[in-house]
Chains A and B, each alone.
Chain A
Amino acid sequence: MAGKSTASRGSLYPLRNAVLFTGAYLVLSFFYFWLSGAFAARLARSVGELRRLELVEELGFVVLTSLLLFAFSWKYLGHIADDIAECQRIEEHLRQREELFELEFENAPLAIVTCDLKGRVSSANRAACHLLGFANGELAGLRLTDLTHPDDRPRSLEMIARLARGEVTRYTEKRRYLRRDGSVAHGMLHAAVVHGTEGESRMLVVQVEDHTARLEAEQEADQLRERLAHVGRLSTLGEMAAGIAHEINQPLTAITIYARACQRMIRAGKTAEPQLVEALDKVSAQAKRAGEVIRRLRSLIRKHDSHRESVDVNELVSDVVQLAETESRLRGVGLRVELEEPSVAVVADGVQIQQVVLNLLRNGMEAMEGSEGAGDLVLRTAVRRESEVEVAVTDRGTGVSEELEEQLFHPFVTTKDSGMGIGLSICRSIVESHGGKLWFTRNLDGGTTFRFTLPTAIGAAHD
């Protein structure tokens, strides 16, 4: 250690110290002999020569021992100073490192909190204070679970205990926290146990990624998507107006006619005739039919907060088929529906998914318009693996050209005369936001098949 020290001061220490020690020794010796000399002088009034010889001996002794002391202290005691200097150096070094570490901890972009094995906060960096809305230093001593959202508290307590017991060394989980002002912060938590030199658990280190901003961005994206989807639906409904008008017209016509017939029968006094009752039954049935059309339309027209729930996929698809059937008859395109049984549930926004299916069906019909006898437009549902459902619309139309393929999912591109062309782009956006995919393939025997997948309720639960 001594020989390796590089500080220039260190090499002077031994010399200086040696001089000091020897100097001290000499002074002390002088006093010793002066005192003892005075004492001996009194004693030696009678022993003259012996006194002189002793003095020389004692002086020689002092000189010899001083030299030895000098050499000894120069070689060995200098090391003590070296050690001290080294210690000081090490302390300084540690201090600097500690300072650096403090800076790193304090200014880390991620919120970091250290706490004891009971979950009591011992230190928290600036990001953590910011995340939780506290001022610097206010977090110390608080319990982490108290800062957690009440719904997440049991889980937090459980995991802290498990970490402390050593059952788990680290884990990652979504977690909600309560800020000082009571608002909720969403985060992704990474927790780990810190072990001491003997392997014992000493404390917990918790890092939290702030997901609040991301969550808010996702929510805003959802809202925008729903607005766009709504516009898309209105546009679709506008294009379907003729078919819808017909759907309502037919039952209304029938109601008018039957009602008139009933009037005449009653005026003619034929109130007992079964035909009267029959006719009134028909009126009722036709009114119900018209009501059904309105009901199905209303869900499409409505703008609503996009919300997801578990829905049966075949039921969802069937509802749309009713709407599409009219169009298909009007266009002279046959529609065939093949739904796989048993059906499964998907977690989805029903209105948006219906919009996608309707869009694909109408596109298929358009592609097939004019090509009579080319076959039917086929709508299929199929369960692929336990976690996914596939819905496919196969047409026997003219197909998708290479130039069109590029542009197909771009917004505001359309091959139709009327229509805004946001159909496929919003369809893809809707499907992807549900965790699925939308794509198309060219059929070997002509036409195109558009497919999209949705995660089933079981599949979604694993997320």
Chain B
Amino acid sequence: MTEQNRKTAGSPSKRSPSKPMVYVVDPDEVVRESLRVLLATFGVTAEGFPDAEAFLAAFESGRPGCLVTEVDLPGRDGVALIEHLNARDLSLPAIVVARNADVGSAVRAMRAGAVDYLEKPFVDRVLVERLFQVLAHQSAAASCAGKVLS
């Protein structure tokens, strides 16, 4: 697993300070599990949470990663979660997936700063591409920051 991470992580010359983690927040266990398995084939670690509260309890900032969240969550919904993270200045790029996609929630999500909004059943290729864009961007930014600091 570790070798794969090294091979597929964004920047070729720099190793990220820690492995990127994808957080999947979706009440459906099948969705969480299937995404985890898929991302594993890309050498990306993913962890699943059934709702926003479970995620927030386990989340530690400072680690590169990406949030993939469903809109329809019991309790706090996906967009509210993103807004919450923004308010706390916990910058974590987010991709929103929705089983009941509508314009209203899409606009809210994008306004809250989501990287993308996908409808279910989503074309997994698109999700994976977006994820890698996000992670690549993150590690590029990190190496920039590293360059600046050093």
Contact = CB atoms under 8 A, between A and B. Distances in A.
22 contacts: A246-B99, A249-B120, A250-B99, A250-B120, A253-B34, A253-B99, A253-B120, A253-B121, A254-B31, A257-B31, A257-B35, A257-B37, A257-B38, A258-B34, A258-B37, A261-B37, A261-B38, A264-B38, A264-B41, A264-B42, A275-B40, A282-B30
A15 B105 CA distance: 123
Contacts of B37: 257-258, 261, 275, 278-279, 282
B28 interface: yes
Interface in B107-126: 120-125
A325 to B, nearest CB: 13
B100 interface: yes
B17 interface: no
A286 B125 CA distance: 20
Contacts of B42: 264
A275 B33 CA distance: 12
Nearest to A289: B30
Contact of A249 (B34, B35, B40, B121): B121
A258 B38 CA distance: 7
Interface of B: 28, 30-31, 33-35, 37-38, 40-42, 72, 74, 99-100, 120-125
Interface string A274-287: 01001100100010
A260 B31 CA distance: 13
A256 interface: yes
B121 A268 contact: no
B122 A253 contact: yes
8 closest residue pairs by CB, A with B: A257-B34, A264-B41, A261-B38, A253-B121, A254-B30, A252-B121, A254-B34, A260-B124
Contacts of B125: 260
Nearest to A266: B41
B100 A246 contact: yes
Contacts of A258: 34, 37-38
A281 to B, nearest CB: 11
B31 A250 contact: yes
A330 B31 CA distance: 17
Interface residues of A, number: 24
Contacts of A253: 31, 34, 99, 120-122
A421 interface: no
Interface string A227-265: 000000000000000100110011111101110110011
Contacts of B28: 250, 254
Contacts of A419: none
Contacts of A246: 99-100
Contacts of B100: 242, 245-246
Contacts of B31: 250, 253-254, 257
A332 B34 contact: no
A252 B30 CA distance: 10
Contacts of B41: 261, 264-265, 268
Nearest to A250: B28
B7 to A, nearest CB: 11
A278 B30 CA distance: 13
Nearest to B41: A264
B120 A257 contact: no
Given A246-B100, A254-B28, A264-B42, 8 more contacts: A242-B100, A249-B120, A250-B30, A253-B121, A253-B122, A257-B124, A279-B34, A330-B72
A265 B30 CA distance: 19
A246 B124 CA distance: 18
Interface in A411-439: none
Contact of A251 (B30, B40, B123): B30
B127 to A, nearest CB: 9
Residue among A254, A258, A268, A279 having the largest count of chain B Cβ atoms under 10 Å: A254
A276 to B, nearest CB: 10
Contacts of A245: 99-100
Nearest to A251: B30
B18 to A, nearest CB: 24
Nearest to B28: A250
A249 B101 CA distance: 12
Contacts of A256: 121-124
Contacts of B120: 249-250, 253
Nearest to B100: A242
Nearest to A283: B34
A282 B120 CA distance: 18
Nearest to A259: B124
Contacts of A264: 38, 41-42
A196 B120 CA distance: 88
Nearest to A258: B34
Given A246-B99, A250-B99, A282 B34 contact: yes
